[in-house]
Amino acid sequence: MRSTATRVGGALIALVLGAGTASAQPETRNLKIGTARDPQLATEIAVAKYKGFFEQEGLNVEISYFVSGAEMMSAVAAKQLALGSFGESPAINLRAGGHPVKIVARMADISGTQQIVAQKGIAKAQDLKGKKVGLQVGSTSEALLGEFLKAYGMKLADVELVNMSPPDQVAAFARGDVQAICVWQPFVLRAKQRGGQALAAANRSFIPGETGPKKYYGAHAVLVGREEFLKDNPKTLEAALRAMVKAAEFARANPDETAKLLGQDIQMPVEDIKTMVLENRYDMSLTPELAADITRSIEFLASLGKLKTKPKLEELVDASFLSRVAPGLVTWRP
């Protein structure tokens, strides 16, 4: 049965990716892609590199690692990075700030790895009132915290936000300088190892008495490119997308090996990496659900006065590249 499933899976990949890549030579062989050392943003990129999928497409890919999406935003804004994988909120902020970027694919539904972790004694949303909460302002975390509080009749003004990077959040949490943090993996795991307990993930409640699936916020990792790069290097991007679609399929089917591959760049126990791999849903599709979640993020950030302009979804997302590479993965239309 496993052999049959493997053959069927391979056939489906071939069907999804379309025919013939030999005639679609990339404009440039060397490509640098920015990401972070975590399974939310890096998985397809690392798997495609270490399994040789990029090489099969004629690409020599260099992975440039950043601590967070905010750092990648700066690199993209400074034109030091043409292609990067980060959360939808940094992508929205870049576009709203006048930087010509496009989301060209989803990397993963990362809702399960975005969590609010609190000190013991804080068991429900109301317990956060007046407390210091560390997070990366302008990131998915701010949107998640806002939606979590809203679900219980509260707002961001009811807590004291402390803007800090994910590593600094964990350190401040361990010292007791903040009573909760809203962050992503692997920093969630590190905070829990320092005595923290999860109140919620973006897609699940851990509150006593109501533990279970609950969608507070849809969080996604997306692949973003600068418009000038996309215009000048369409075949290069399409080659990279073909490799990463294969990598997403591999990651879904092989979590153990995926964790080991990621372990080459992520310095933590492979079992911890596997936990995070299983929390993510690797899926590069552009769907109405994704479009609705991105629109929700735009509206939320605009409501906070965080956006210089309010980008339209059609300006932010370009489905044309993925449509040519894997038309079956594109069900959203502008």
Please give the CATH superfamily to which domain 112-213 belongs: Periplasmic binding protein-like II (3.40.190.10)
The number of C-alpha atoms within 13 Å of 12 and in the hemisphere containing its C-beta is: 13
Strand 212-213, strand 160-163: pairing: unpaired
Does this model's pTM top 0.75? My answer is yes
Count other Cβ atoms within 10 Å, centred on residue 23: 7
pLDDT in tens, 238-291: 999 999 999 999 999 999 999 999 999 998 899 999 999 999 999 999 999 999
pLDDT tens-place string over residues 207-218: 999 999 999 999
pLDDT of residue 249: 97
Among all chains, which residue has been given the structure tokens 């959040």? 169
CA triplet 263, 68, 130: central angle to 5 degrees? 120
Is there a contact between 46 and 262 (Cβ–Cβ < 8 Å)?
A: yes
Q: Per residue in 119-134, pLDDT tens?
A: 999 999 999 999 999 9
Q: How many CA atoms lie within 13 A of 233 on its CB side?
A: 21
Short-list 94, 62, 58, 60, CA closest to 79 = 94
23 has pLDDT over 50: no
Residues of the chain with CATH 3.40.190.10: 2-110+219-329, 112-213
CB-count burial class (<10 Å; 0-12, 13-18, 19+) for 143: buried
Q: What is the pLDDT of residue 17?
A: 54
Give the C-alpha separation, 200 to 212, whole Å. 9
> Which letter, b or e, does each residue of 259-290 get, where b requires 16 or more Cβ atoms within 10 Å of its Cβ?
bebbbebbebeeebbbbbbebbbbbbbbeeeb
Q: Return all residues near 248 (Cβ < 8 A) that are at least 6 apart.
A: 43, 44, 107, 108, 282, 283, 284
Q: Name the least confident of 57-66, 130-139, 226-235, 239-248.
A: 130-139
135-149, 150-164, 249-263, 311-325: least confidently modelled range: 135-149
Question: What was the pLDDT predicted at 14?
Answer: 45
Residue 167's alpha-carbon distances to 89, 160, 184, in angstroms, are: 19, 19, 11
Residue 292 binned pLDDT confidence (cut-offs 50, 70, 90): very high
Contact between 134 and 168 under an 8 Å Cβ cutoff? The reply is yes
In this structure, what is the dihedral angle of CA atoms 225, 231, 236, 240, given to the nearest 10 degrees?
A: 30
Check pLDDT > 50 for residue 21.
no
Please choose, from the candidates 192, 158, 164, the residue with its C-alpha nearest in 3D space to the C-alpha of residue 177: 164
Higher pLDDT, 192 or 82: 192
End-to-end Cα spacing for the chain: 40
- Percent residues over pLDDT 90 in the chain: 76
Write down the pLDDT at residue 309: 93
pLDDT value at position 56?
Answer: 97
At the second CATH level, the architecture of 2-110+219-329 is 3-Layer(aba) Sandwich (3.40)
Farthest-apart Cα atoms in the chain, separation = 62
Residue 8 pLDDT > 90: no
- Residues 183/199, Cβ–Cβ less than 8 Å: no
State the DSSP code for 161.
E
Q: So what's the pLDDT on residue 19? A: 41
Distance in angstroms (rounded) separating the CA atoms of residues 39 and 151: 28
